[in-house]
Chain A
């Protein structure tokens, strides 16, 4: 787990959902770069043209569609589902073998060679991002890589490169500044909140939307970094071990001593009065 506290220079996505046209070029680019298999899809299986039916081991990002009415007109709203690349990721903190790493560049990456397949990351992730290869006998976890292989070499992630309108990619502090600038410049266009600034303690994916987050399918999450929730208990482990171990040692020493003294006293008494009943 990373122990750094400054995430301002991490690379982050600023995704302005009001500018998204729902072209789903990001989905295609993601599949291409990560060489993910296609999925069986069906028209109108979800709202609008939303497809594939769910995020999965083969789908790392997806545009969710939302149909709604505004001033009597039918409107579309979108939400790009993907790994949030948290500043302090829950997946990295709960993984018993440290198979997740928050890289200095920003993406949270997964080391398949370490993974033992316990699926704690899937339980822990507040956004429900890690997916499992359920069809395999010895499955691994799959999730958005933040295109670490590209970012490392100075390129933008595949989805951000492809997107014609909505995704900006750059240092996190600049992205937040840009998001806040848009909120002040166009107050009517947006819900006045930046999703990802404080969610789960801050993420490397930041959203602006026109509809309330929950209506678009954003998950309601805590504003505290998740690893803190377990660490507040786990940090007591050495103390608990020493307290119980030491306490029980002391108690048994005292009790054994009490017994021994009692026995010695009895023996001494027995020795003083040899005439009384013999032992055994």
Chain B
């Protein structure tokens, strides 16, 4: 009773926006319940022509690259040893962990037989990109969970897990990058099979590579947006100096993407590109506004150093990535005479998933040391509860105190 009252009081103290998010999540929960009661047909606008809709296009195909910040930043900080960016790593990991958990929820809603989802582990089909992605998403969600455990262990003062996790940090970072490379690209492989259905503007054999490179770009931009937003609205310290460094990398990765994309269009695909005006507009919005324009912006020092303009350029990349994934997985395959639009329930569920992401991020940042993380200040020693070491100096204790 008191615990419940404590929770209620705690929630009453939240900001109005957080309460709004809670409402959105609750509505989505009801909407997803409707999916299980009434079935996919009546609750969604999916049909035999459009077996995949908003839930696959956004909740899976788009949400996965949007959560790519965790592995990208992990690699930048720990492998390329740009240590000053470390304060950005934890928020990125929380975003990644939330993102992937919600991808799993989105998938469960979309599967016809969610109770048989574990069959992927039992009947392997290595020829299937879907098998590849499911295995990777499961593995990577586990990795992210372990990485996410660090702040939790810190909060509750679990010393042994803290040491173990600190020791596992490097292997986990490398594993995360390797697994992410596989499934980010395999999401592109999904659409290599729709050879006669996907429009020439998007179908090309380089899709997996393009998906991977664009995911890296988007991951970094999400970090920029997130840090800017949490500085502005959550009273977190301004990480502008660090974001400037990150923004310096972006023209290179975006440039690589633009180069690969141009090459793939000019050299690897034949056939009419601009035969359908709607798709032509979608393409130029995606590629011009979403990739080329921000790439040019990020080359400007004035953009990289200005918080607002940097955030605008980053949001353009996010816009480009989202539109790209929708173009590949939905719009580029649409029959102009028979258009798919998501139903209200589909829309509410997806909105709820986005709201849940922001909500949990805000709550986790409120209760766990996400932003205040400075590894040099954390005490990674294991307390000598049994007074075994009191006798004399021990090598282990010395090693432990070097942890930071």
A residues with CB within 8 A of B: 1, 54-56, 90, 93-99, 114-120, 122-124, 126, 128, 131-141, 219-222, 226-227, 229-234, 237, 240-241, 244-245, 248-249, 251-252, 255-256, 258-259
Contact = CB atoms under 8 A, between A and B. Distances in A.
A233 B185 contact: yes
Given A119-B51, A230-B189, A255-B81, A126 B119 contact: no
B256 to A, nearest CB: 16
Given A90-B193, A123-B52, A251-B80, A234 B129 contact: yes
Given A114-B119, A231-B127, A134 B80 contact: no
B39 A95 contact: no
Contacts of A120: 128, 130, 190
Nearest to A99: B123
Contacts of B244: none
Contact of B111 (A93, A116, A241): A116
B208 to A, nearest CB: 5
A97 B174 contact: no
Contact of B174 (A116, A124, A134, A252): A252
26 contacts: A93-B125, A93-B128, A94-B127, A97-B131, A98-B123, A99-B123, A114-B123, A116-B111, A117-B114, A118-B130, A119-B51, A120-B130, A123-B51, A132-B48, A136-B41, A138-B115, A139-B41, A230-B193, A233-B207, A234-B129, A234-B132, A240-B182, A244-B178, A251-B79, A252-B80, A252-B170
B46 interface: yes
Contact of A256 (B36, B81, B190): B81
A54 B49 CA distance: 11
A116 B37 contact: no
Interface string B180-197: 011001101110111111
A112 B266 CA distance: 43
Interface in B106-121: 110-117, 119-120
B130 A115 contact: no
A276 to B, nearest CB: 23
B124 interface: yes
A231 B195 CA distance: 13
Interface size bucket, B side? 35 or more
Contacts of B122: 97
Contacts of B123: 97-99, 114
Contact of A123 (B177, B179, B194): B194
B120 A94 contact: no
Contacts of B129: 94, 230, 233-234
A123 B192 CA distance: 11
Given A117-B111, A252-B79, A134 B46 contact: yes
Contact of A122 (B51, B111, B131, B177): B51
Contacts of A240: 178, 181-182, 185
A56 B47 CA distance: 10
Contacts of B170: 252
